[in-house]
Amino acid sequence: MRISALAAEAGLPVATVKFYLREGLLHPGAASSATQASYDDSHVRRLRLVRALTGPVGLSVQQARAVLQLVDEPGDDLYSTLGRAVGALPPAGAEAAGDADPYPRARAALDALGQVYDPGFAAVAQLEGALAAAEDAGMPITPERLARYGRAAADLASYDLERMPREPRDAVEYTVLGTALYEPVLLALRRLAHQDAAVRRLGRSSVG
Amino acid sequence: MRISALAAEAGLPVATVKFYLREGLLHPGAASSATQASYDDSHVRRLRLVRALTGPVGLSVQQARAVLQLVDEPGDDLYSTLGRAVGALPPAGAEAAGDADPYPRARAALDALGQVYDPGFAAVAQLEGALAAAEDAGMPITPERLARYGRAAADLASYDLERMPREPRDAVEYTVLGTALYEPVLLALRRLAHQDAAVRRLGRSSVG
DNA sequence: CATGATTGGATAGTGATACTCTCCAATATT
DNA sequence: AATATTGGAGAGTATCACTATCCAATCATG
């Protein structure tokens, strides 16, 4: 399969496929001569994955590369690989400013939820940023709501964890892609559930 | 309060404040002369809100403007205003291609969850796109997982709905900002819950 | 084997986005 | 009166994700 066939298969312009090759998102084909390389199914699958990550998931090319690298070569330390993998996903967390208690809101939240607080984990910074943003916007999250959201998140996490593959390589792929790909699903479901609840509660006619 | 004081208060360059004025994200100050206008607390609050939306929430200036307009002047049809408001938030949904069953995955998912299916609602397209992306990437969502996620989303929605203000204007603000600002919180909590569950299940030492 | 198409590779260009800078004459401040 | 600041408009900048153009080296075809 030459590059034009690959591009056609993936529904992308050849120029874009070349771009992904250059950017290291797609592994090179097997070079058969100075001006020829052959591509296979693995390239088609990879392109689909790249499009999924850069499209609906909303990763930048840089972020997608970081994620794919971790999936391709997970370290032998599963915990830190998972941490780095999730850290590679947006949104970026707030920078830790001072050294003393850099993430006060996140720490308080996790304490209240009875969860481990590890300031080195990227999602802590994300949580801090999200809580601060809600405060700044004048809609702080009440402890009660936080508890509710936290419980829901823990339920889902426990479900997901039970289904995590044993093999480290597969575990990283499962976690990274599961995080990246299922988050938009969860958000869409939450929005639709709001919609559904609104219809049921208010009645379509009474508000429309 | 002149523009430089406002900028200082919000921690932004004057040029950026001018930019937001030009873009219609910030309402003009009260003009006291040809080259002077005075700004007040409402401008400070608005700037905070703008930064929250364009920062952690990740909206573009265009999207933020759309959201703010809806908050500022909600229509008299609450249902459709809420629909439009949520539609103004990213991610953008997939375009409805054919006319027959444009969102098959989303329809099936909502049927399975026993929820209303309204193809006009933006989140349906988002769900379709998210489900398709997961499939494309080779990690389709199982019906079981979908049910689990859907139940969690419904729980949260029901909680949120119970707390929705009665007054339409406040309801729109609550819903739009709640959607935009609380989503990042939920995602961060889910990631942290994964982390926490991993530590508890695997034990930090056994994987690190 | 001649000839036109395609390839990998490199460089440059494009359009969108979110600021950021510069300028200006008209005030404000001192 | 001298200096600083303002609102407003226009242009400039940096980044991003492609997209287009070139080129010499093959390939495919008659």
CB B86 within 8 A of CB A193: no
CB A126 within 8 A of CB B187: yes
Confidence at A121, pLDDT banded by 50, 70, 90: confident
Q: Say if B57 is an interface residue toward chain A (CB within 8 Å).
A: yes
pTM: 0.86
**In terms of pLDDT, which residue wins out, A121 or A12?**
A12
Spell out, as residue ranges, where chain B has pLDDT lower than 50: 205-208
pLDDT score of A40 = 94
Strand C close to B35 by CB, under 7 A: yes
Strands B30-33, B36-38: parallel, antiparallel or unpaired by DSSP?
antiparallel
- Following DSSP, what letter does each residue of chain B receive, concatenated? --HHHHHHHHT--HHHHHHHHHHTSSPPPEEEETTEEE--HHHHHHHHHHHHHHTTT---HHHHHHHHHHHHS--S-HHHHHHHHHHTSSSPPPPP-SSSSS-HHHHHHHHHHT----TTSHHHHHHHHHHHHHHHTT-PPPHHHHHHHHHHHHHHHHHHHHT--SSHHHHHHHHHHHHHHHHHHHHHHHHHHHHHHHHHHH-HHHH-
pLDDT score of A107 = 95
Check residue A102 and report its DSSP letter.
S
Average pLDDT (A93-99) is 63
Q: Which of residues 2-41 of A touch B (CB under 8 A)?
A: none
pLDDT score of B208 = 38
What confidence tens digit (pLDDT) does each residue in A37-94 have?
999 999 999 999 999 899 888 889 999 998 898 888 877 777 777 777 777 777 666 6
Residue partners of A101: CB distance under 8 A and separation at least 6: A107
CB B55 within 8 A of CB A133: yes
Q: Say if A156 is an interface residue toward chain B (CB within 8 Å).
A: yes
Scanning residues 36 through 75 of protein chain A, those with a beta carbon under 7 Å from any atom of strand C turn out to be: 36-37, 39
What confidence tens digit (pLDDT) does each residue in B33-78 have?
888 999 999 999 999 999 988 987 888 999 999 889 888 887 777 7
pLDDT score of A185 = 94
What confidence tens digit (pLDDT) does each residue in A133-142 have?
899 888 999 9
Contact B90 A58 (CB under 8 A): yes
Given a cut of 80, whether residue A201 has pLDDT beyond it is no
Percent of chain A with pLDDT over 90: 49
User: What would the two tokens of residue A7 be?
Assistant: 């591009």
Choose from B160, B187, B206 for mutation: most chain A CBs within 10 A: B187
Report the protein residue whose CA lies nearest the C1' of nucleotide C19. B16
pLDDT score of B122 = 81
pLDDT score of A208 = 38
User: How confident is the prediction for chain A on average, in pLDDT?
Assistant: 87
Given a cut of 90, whether residue A16 has pLDDT beyond it is yes
Helix (H, G, I), strand (E, B) or coil at A59: coil
